[in-house]
Amino acid sequence: MSLVERKVTYFKEAGGQNTDALLRSVKKYVEKEDIKDIVIASTTGETGAKVSKTFKGYNVIIVTHCFGFQEPGKTELLEGYRKEILANGAKIFTGVHALSSAERAMRKDFGTIQPLELIANVLRLMGEGTKVCVEITLMAADAGLIPVDRDVVAIAGTGKGADTALRICPANAARFFDLKIREIIAKPHDF
């Protein structure tokens, strides 16, 4: 029987105050594990810009909220951060959320939950960041921005900043159950 032991970082509380410590942990991890693809959730672009600088030279994909998420026809991604992200060589993906899409409208208008939102709520049992890491990995894979034949690191947070990092074997959304959460690199203990 083979046993693998890994260090996992657990933050006492969820939130953006963990961003810098998380990025230091992830940097050590990807260097040791020779992982080249980083997927990060970023709303305004602030965390995305920080990640694009920290992981310059990697295949960094910043996944934003879709247009209209907060206000019809508008993006939350700030122009200054967008420019910084692109200047650092990262890519930006903006699209429909893989684990909600039109199902969110059905819940809001008709008060019923559909399968994608049920999956999202189950993933939240491990924290909001875990759900978002899975979701952005699906979205980046569907856009062809990350490979599906090698592991990536996905980074997300609870509300603002970053507090969760997972090693994931990606899959396209149409093959959702082929996606594998291989390792927890860091996550909040209390969320």
pTM for the full model?
0.94
d(CA 114, CA 43): 25
In angstroms, how far is the first alpha carbon of the chain from the final one?
34
Assigned domain for 122 exists: no
- Residue 2: inside a domain: no
From CA 28, how far away is CA 128, in angstroms rounded? 24
Question: Which pLDDT belongs to residue 84?
Answer: 98
Are the beta carbons of 77 and 98 closer than 8 angstroms? no
Residue range 12-52, pLDDT digits in tens? 999 999 999 999 999 999 999 999 999 999 999 999 999 99
Let me know if residue 74 belongs to a domain: yes
Residue 166 lies in a domain: yes
Q: Is residue 24 part of a domain?
A: yes
Residues spanned by the domain of 141: 9-99+127-190
Q: Taking the alpha carbons of 103, 108, 109, 113 in that order, is the dihedral positive or negative?
A: positive
Residue 127 has pLDDT above 90, yes or no: yes
Domain contains 131: yes
pLDDT tens readout for residues 67-114: 888 889 899 899 999 999 999 999 999 998 888 878 777 888 888 888
**Residue 120 lies inside a defined structural domain of this protein:** no
Laid out side by side, the sheet with 9-13 consists of: 9-13, 180-190, 164-169, 152-156, 37-41, 59-64, 91-94
Mean pLDDT over 103-128 rounds to: 88
How many domains does the chain fold into? 1
Within-domain flag for 117: no
Question: Which domain CATH number covers 144?
Answer: 3.40.1380.20
Over range 115-137, report the average pLDDT. 95
